[in-house]
A and B are shown apart, each in its own frame.
Chain A
Amino acid sequence: MAGDAARRDDRSQERFLRLFLASERELLRYVAAVAPNADDAREIVQDTAVALWEKFDQYDASRPFTPWACRFALNISKQWLARQKRWRAILSDDLAGQLVRRRMELEADIDHRLRHLQGCLEKLPAPQRQLVDGYYSRQIGIDGLAAETRRSAEAIYKALQRTRHMLQKCIEQAVREEMAT
């Protein structure tokens, strides 16, 4: 495969790069509907990128790239889910397909709500912000945060959950206020 890649010209790589970069956030969101854990979603999108590159010579440039890429992402997601014993049931009755399609339908609404996230993060009390920072930015993990703060893992888990609830309420409030004005 590396040999194949080497034979492709730089222009092809650059073209693929630009198209993929323009689509990657959408791909990640698409995949997150069936693989909500961030590490899992990243793994699937990585595999998707490799698969897209392998098939890039089959891409019809007259058509939009993202839907083409999403089809690959859905297939790769299903392969990934099929390998996960616990998640395999989501493939029955095409629930995985339903979720990713619905995610696309809701995209504008979700994006609208998430525009208020940063403002809401800034309103969090410092301990909650530090918790969010530790878990999401520094990726310390529940156990690591528990060790760092000398609290139980369960306490950290609950605190994170409460913090997300605070964020959700704050965002919903901000959306309501925005609609009212």
Chain B
Amino acid sequence: MNFSLSETQQQAQELATQILSDATSPAQLAQFDKTGYFDRSLWQSLADAGLLGIAIGEEHGGMGLDFETLCVFLEAAGQHAAPVPLLSVLVDGALLLQAFSPVISASILPSIVSGEKLLTSDLQSNVSVFTAQESNESEVLLNGKSGIVALGNDADFCLLKAELNQQTIIVLADLTQSQCSRELQVLTTGEHAATLTLDNLPARLIASGTEAEAFLSLATRYSQTAGAAYAVGIAESMIKQASTYTADRKQFGKAIGSFQAVQQQLANTYIDKQCLRAASEKAIYELSLDDTSDSSREAALIANIWLGDALHNISHTTQHVHGGMGVDRDYGLFRYCTAARDLELRYSSSARAISELGSLIRARQP
């Protein structure tokens, strides 16, 4: 057993924390609340520091570090409610593209690492329906309408799943083309998502048939696990804010954080957070051992269940003990709560993950 960070991971954490804390004071964050909650200059700073390429191969201009180290970075971003679309671009997009298509990776990923282009994905949606027609060996034409695509309003590229001759395929589409129209959807976090309507949009084929199924299965477990790591950061920060606030805020002549009723509730948030962290660490570990194993699939689902349960409880309780301050837009907590809320529904709800895990247990051989 070893739960400590490696030296490289500590350095990545320090570097990320330094850049993020310089850019995320409440006043700085407030500038982006109504403009898509995306700080492009912070994005460029992260790119310049090499952090956007933290888990992207050196051949594409990245640092070539592992998924575990990427998760350390994501946790730090969660701690700062950073107004940058790291999960969309680095996890849902780049990580998967890199694993499945060396050719397309070579043409796209350098521009992602440099911060010049943005990549997202629409693989988790139950709503999106795209049909594809063969255009040539490596390209298809897409038609159809998506559900809500995170970063969809700003992304240059998007990983999509579509149906081609009754088979699932995974493609990479260029959303800047004229055959793609986007309709802006403003999320509770202030982030700009979009629904996409595609009309014969050319897209590059990445995987089909069983390979596409494998792609989706990996996408789910990496996204759920990375989401849980991000959630740990959000949770840590919400709890810290609530502890600091209640230790200072006085009523009846005493700090409200000294009242047993408040202490018991905040102790519960601590326990929930520790559980979420344990589930996240276990899933990261299982994925690094074998990302195709049943254990890694189960561990990722469990991390997702905890993401939903823990964030829901922690964000409500920490807002509650703040009283009005917890919902005041001049006080920073709400950004963490809306980020939590976004994450709770982003990949799979807790209830859906429970149901999937139940099916896996059902199918297990005694």
* A in complex with B: no
Interface residues, chain A, with chain B CB atoms under 8 Å away:
none
